[in-house]
Structure 1
Amino acid sequence: MGLNTRPTLAATVAIGVIAIAGVQIWLRGYLLPGTPTLSARYFPPWVLRAFGKEPFVVDGTRSESGIDTERPLAGANAVRFGERTAYGTLEDTFADEWQAAIEDLASVETTVVDVFDVDGAVQIDERGNHVILTLDGRPFGRWVSRAALLADLGAGRVLASRYDGWGELETAERGQVLAQLRRYIDACPACAGEAVSSLDSATSCCREYEVVTVSCSDCGTRLSEVPVAAVDEHEAVS
């Protein structure tokens, strides 16, 4: 008796599903809705790197540069650090220039190119409270809010004028320095309310973890969100 070479119903359905998925991936570069947001926030760097999706800047928590962020911040007279603690105090003159630079921002897209020294078309996508940036269609960075992004761009312009070594820093290093500086911000770029630090929890696709946050006491906008483990590691190194 000969073998039945006709495809079964299950095989036909499977082929159809694969074909539809292939078309979706070809059209938009991913299959599941929200995949760019999920991958940028929850997947480890080596997974993102394997698929060419690793953002340069993710709120400063995934940079592998190992840069000493205190050096440029101290060199620019932006933060005054104590001798026996990793905590610091934002210098008043820097705070004033920082706020003025934020208010003076004309084009976010152009400023992103200048501050991070990159080339390409910048696209901003606001999803919920988070802001996702792409550069020529590829993931570039994620910020916890638009206000956080504006804070980094304003700070980058001030650091460029105050710190001689700014031009020598790579893109990921700049992102890490700016994210570290944002932990010391004292006024919300969105409403000028007071920025306060607190301990909170965040939930990923598979776990819950503690984060050190900086949020506006008036409008509630989150300005910084760093896992406690990353903060502890920075303090241990410092």
Structure 2
Amino acid sequence: MTRFKQAEYTGENRCTPCTVINVLISIFLSLVIGFFSQIIGGVAFILFLAAIYFRGYLIPGTPKLTKKYLPVFVLRAFGKEIESPPTGLESNSDPAQNQSSNNAIDNPEQFFYRHNVVAPCDSSDDLCLTESFSSVWKDEIRALPDCTAHDAAIAFQLSDSNLRLIETNSGVALKNEKGSIGEWPSRSAFEVDIAAAKALDGFVPDWWSRTGDERGWLLSSLRLFTPICPHENGPASMEEDMIETCCSTQDRLKVVCEQNNEVLFEHRL
């Protein structure tokens, strides 16, 4: 029986929303046919279900149409929504440092521009790292050890008690007894944030008065400008690709280390 199945749309690759939609269509068509002949309508319904079981759909093109037009809330209801990528530091383990800042950040790029971290590029209508900040950040990246939870505690000013760095399916996570402190798409992204936090300390006077969420947002945004990758000191490059699941597709912008292909920054378009 297995050889008759269309593996692309059945088994683990079956799109549950597609199946539900096609079953509903089958019921409707069977009822219409059954209006003229109950026997033929019943036989048609069995054949429709067999087609859905073996092919994954009844109406040709359903998977492609589902990926393009099915609303996000429907995908979420069936647990088929594409998961958001890890962003980095989420919150500080010290509640006192999680109070709202007096100077809220509306736009990371404007914030970095005000603090001489980025400036207009010479050769394009975009923003680039300033020479002064790029130099400091590169020095911090080059000086990185194989970073541990202890290094993160120092760089992010966290309590070192019960702080753990663990590997996850989507990268690495920093946790303590209260839960998650942050998640990164790779160890390189985690280490780049540690270096950036040290570098920003000399450019942003109120850096350590910012909440963990604010610093995490800024560090994650700054990773888009990563000048070199940890340890290998190789270049980071920007790429665009597409994430595709059984039920949806989504364009993605990412920054990766060219030598080991580790993701530093990821944004869903």
Does 2:146 correspond to 1:102? Answer: no
- Deviations along 1:59-107, whole A, 9 cap, x unmatched? xxxxxx864212432233221147xx99410122222211221233455
Indicate conservation of the 8 Å contact 1:117/1:171, yes or no.
no
Q: In the alignment, which residue of structure 1 is the partner of 2:114?
A: 75
| Residue matched to 1:179 | 220
Q: Tell me, in whole angstroms, the C-alpha distance in 1 between the residues paired with 2:130 and 2:115.
A: 10
Equivalent residues in 2 for 1:161-200 (5 A)?
161-200=202-241
Distance in structure 2 (CA, Å) of the matches to 1:154 and 1:94: 12
For residues 201 and 144 of structure 1, what CA distance do their matches in structure 2 show?
A: 17
Scaled by the length of structure 1, the TM-score of the pair is: 0.61
> Which residue is 2:151 aligned to?
111
**C-alpha separation in 2, matches of 1:219 and 1:227:** 22
Report which stretch shifted further, 116-125 or 208-217: 116-125
Residue of 143, 146, 150 corresponding to 2:191:
150
SS of match in other structure, 2:197: helix
Residue in 1 aligned with 2:242? 201
User: How far apart, in 1, do the equivalents of 2:180 and 2:252 lie?
Assistant: 24
- Alignment size in residue pairs: 170
1:210 aligns with 2:246: no
Task: Confirm or deny: 8 A CA contact 2:144 2:230 kept in the other structure.
Answer: no
Q: Distance in 2 between matches of 1:221 and 1:43?
A: 17
Residue 90 (structure 2) aligns with: 56
Deviations, residues 88-137 of structure 1 (Å, cap 9, x unaligned): 10122222211221233455323322443433432111235611221225
Give 2:131's match in structure 1, choosing from 92, 95, 101: 92
Post-superposition shift, 1:216? 2.0
SS in 1 for 2:107: coil
Cα pair distance change 1:75/1:204, threshold 3 Å: farther
CA RMSD of aligned residues (A): 3.1
Tell me the distance in 2 between the aligned counterparts of 1:71 and 1:222. 25
Residue 265 (structure 2) aligns with: 224
Match of 1:136 in 2: 177
Report the structure number with the largest CA radius of gyration. Answer: 2
Q: Tell me, which stretches of 5 or more residues in structure 1 are unaligned?
A: 1-37, 45-54, 58-64, 229-238
TM-score scaled by length of structure 2: 0.54
Identity %: 23
CA distance in 2 between counterparts of 1:124 and 1:212 reads: 26
